[in-house]
Chain A
């Protein structure tokens, strides 16, 4: 069965410091991986995706993610966090058949000034 795990419910970072939000996955076949962000009382916004190619994927708002096949991970990173990055972040994998997304449980990112 395909699954996604985000091992941290919450990540706290000081503004200006680098941030990492962790994600590991389990899929059969090639993984199609996504990161989404959800601000309070809003829908999900797409940040970036890995389909194939370079292991380092760059996305919106200065975020990037590193695909690591041997560790089955797809961690989200940003070199310098902003207070406005505070939100709920979801990692997702596309499941075979129909293109549905299987989401991790979400990680609440809090960036303090």
Chain B
């Protein structure tokens, strides 16, 4: 009964490849996020979807493309992977009540290593 799950947990790949990370939440939340944690543990927002609509798109290379097939899923596809993409990617979700934002629940993370 995991609340926010991500697959895969680890991803090792070569430069130039294309890869996807999947996220699912079973909390009934309507808003999902992708965050990137770099090697210095700094966390930064990348994208957010509310009811399948993109609402946050930070300054992220367009090689990164999020997709939300439904409210419970948010996937991240990365094209032409670069060494600098190596990081831990966290998915998170929350429910927005009439403009009030509650705490976000985070997935376990996907550690991406680009060789």
Task: Write the residues of chain A forming the contact surface with B, with a CB cutoff of 8 angstroms.
Answer: 32, 34, 36, 38, 41-46, 49, 51, 88, 90, 94, 97-103, 105-106
Are A43 and B107 touching (Cβ within 8 A)? yes
**Ordered nearest first, which 9 A-B pairs have the shortest CB separation?**
A99-B101, A43-B106, A98-B56, A44-B106, A100-B45, A103-B43, A46-B103, A98-B55, A43-B108
Shortest CB–CB separation between residue B72 and chain A, in angstroms?
17
Task: Write the residues of chain B forming the contact surface with A, with a CB cutoff of 8 angstroms.
Answer: 4, 31, 33, 35, 40-45, 48, 50, 55-56, 58, 90, 92, 94, 96, 100-101, 103-109
Of the candidates A32, A88, A98, the one whose C-beta lies within 8 Å of that of B48 is A98
A-B contact pairs, 6 of them (CB 8 A): A36-B106, A43-B108, A44-B106, A88-B41, A90-B43, A100-B48
**In the bound complex, CA of A111 to CA of B112 (Å):** 30
Please give, as numbers and ranges, the residues of chain B lying within 8 Å of A88 by CB-CB distance: 41
